[in-house]
Amino acid sequence: MFWEEKMERKGLLLLTAVLMLTACKKEEKPQGKAIARVNGIYLLEEDLKVLQVPGLSWSEEDRSLLLDNWIRNTLLYLGAREEGLDQDPLLKRKLLWSERMLLAQEYLKRKSAGLTVTDEEIDSFLKDREELFKQGISIVIVFFSDSNRAPYIRKLLRRRGRRYRYAMEELRNQSDINVTELDSVNLGYFFLEFRSIPEVLKEKLRWMRKGQVSKVFSADGEYVIIKLLEKFPLVPQKSEVRSYIRQVLYERKRAALEDSLVEALRKKFKVEKISGGS
């Protein structure tokens, strides 16, 4: 599994490299150590450093795979250019937008380079939440857009045994109702991951009993009802919990930084939404 994830990440980076290379308008003499060449287009040792994932090292097998894929994609690029695709107006626009997105992501990456999450911040976060990570739950979450459907949904969710199974089938067959079942989920992780669930409803889960159905709550323009199927104790690894929380807090900081950057740039540059475009 680790190897597959590792190669998947490298595959995404390789795709980025190909996009960068295919954007070149002309062949140039290499300004560094060349490790491959296709018709005057070079892959340099420096390119591998740019692509390197921090904390991961490449084996000879990895390098060989990357070279083979680079050669294949460069040949396809040359074939496309030979047929004039590099002059296609739509593709030029796509390349332009790819470049803009790459620069935007790199800008955000560099601005967030100094973000850290301290042990004290994790301790503070866990102060009133540590017990959540010691509980596991199995639940059914039902989202719907028409509040008038709430009594019907709650009635079906209250059924038991075989009648409950039939009720679930009935709910799933409703086009305006979205049913999600979560089996054996850490309650602490649920609190952090499901941002679309209202906090007040999450708090209800702390005290709900097996088989209990919640009241209806509004959530991001929709309505939601939860049924608690099971609740059981857990003994989580403390290091795993702290590592998970560190990542969550980091992502929240990064999102807040992005919002602040966008707001500052919005004041600096003129933004206009133009209606009437086709």
DSSP secondary structure string, 190-230? HHHH-TTS-HHHHHHHHHPPTT-B---EEETTEEEEEEEEE
pLDDT band at residue 6 using 50, 70 and 90 as cut-offs: very low
**pLDDT given for residue 104 in this prediction:** 95
Per-residue pLDDT tens over the stretch 164-215: 999 999 999 999 999 999 999 999 999 888 887 888 888 888 889 999 999 9
Q: What is the pTM of this model?
A: 0.69
Question: Domain 121-233 adopts which CATH fold?
Answer: Chitinase A; domain 3 (3.10.50)
Per-residue pLDDT tens over the stretch 230-277: 999 999 899 999 999 999 999 999 999 999 999 999 999 999 988 765
The amino acid that residue 106 corresponds to is E
**pLDDT given for residue 238 in this prediction:** 92
State how far the Cα of 259 lies from the Cα of 263, in Å rounded to an integer. Answer: 6
Integer CA distances (angstroms), 53 to 9, 91, 217, in order: 8, 29, 43
**Extents of the domains making up the chain:** 2-111, 121-233
Coil, strand or helix: which one is 232? strand
